[in-house]
Amino acid sequence: MMTVNEVLTLENQQEKIGALLLHGYRFVTMTVVDKGEEFDIIYHFDLDYDMVNYQLVLKKGDVLPSISDICFAAVIVENEIQDLFGITVSNLAIDYEKHFLLAPDAPAEPFCRVPGVGVTAVKTTAAAAENGGDK
């Protein structure tokens, strides 16, 4: 289970992440969870096998400030987030303008929830056995 060590705001995101980097933590990646009306942006950092996770709640339509100016490695995952979730990331060190992973004719925001669509069936062990096991 992942523990969120601190909840960030748009106002303190740069300061808190910058301080963590100054203490020797390295940026690992970012995770995005589409919660419907907002996104959870989770920043993952490591120091000596100790993971620290910072969460930022971003309302849909709001702009996410890039951390690539203080942690250049974030430029890749921030461009992926723009492509896959349609989140605009401001001040990226290198901005592919939502064409980093996706072709021009690819579906827009393919990892976002579709309103009104949810999981209605879950594959159970019994169903898996009927279909010849877990495949």
Q: Please report which confidence band the pLDDT of residue 124 belongs to, taking 50, 70 and 90 as the band edges.
A: very low
How many Cα atoms are found within 13 Å in the side-chain-facing hemisphere of 55? Answer: 11
Query: What does the pLDDT read at residue 123?
Result: 44
Cα distances (angstroms) measured from residue 115 to each of 38, 55, 108 = 13, 24, 15
Q: Rounded to 5 degrees, what angle do the CA atoms 50, 79, 6 make?
A: 35
Q: How many Å is the Cα radius of gyration of the chain?
A: 18
At 58-77, the pLDDT tens digits run: 999 999 999 999 999 999 99
Q: Which element (helix H / strand E) includes 81?
A: helix 74-85
Query: Do the bridges between strand 26-34 and strand 6-8 make them parallel or antiparallel, or are there none, so unpaired?
Result: unpaired
**CATH says 6-130 is which class?**
alpha beta
Please state the pTM of the whole predicted model. 0.82
- Where in the chain are the domains? 6-130
Of 6-10, 33-37, 96-100, 110-114, the one with minimum mean pLDDT is 110-114
At 92-118, the pLDDT tens digits run: 999 999 999 988 888 888 898 876 555
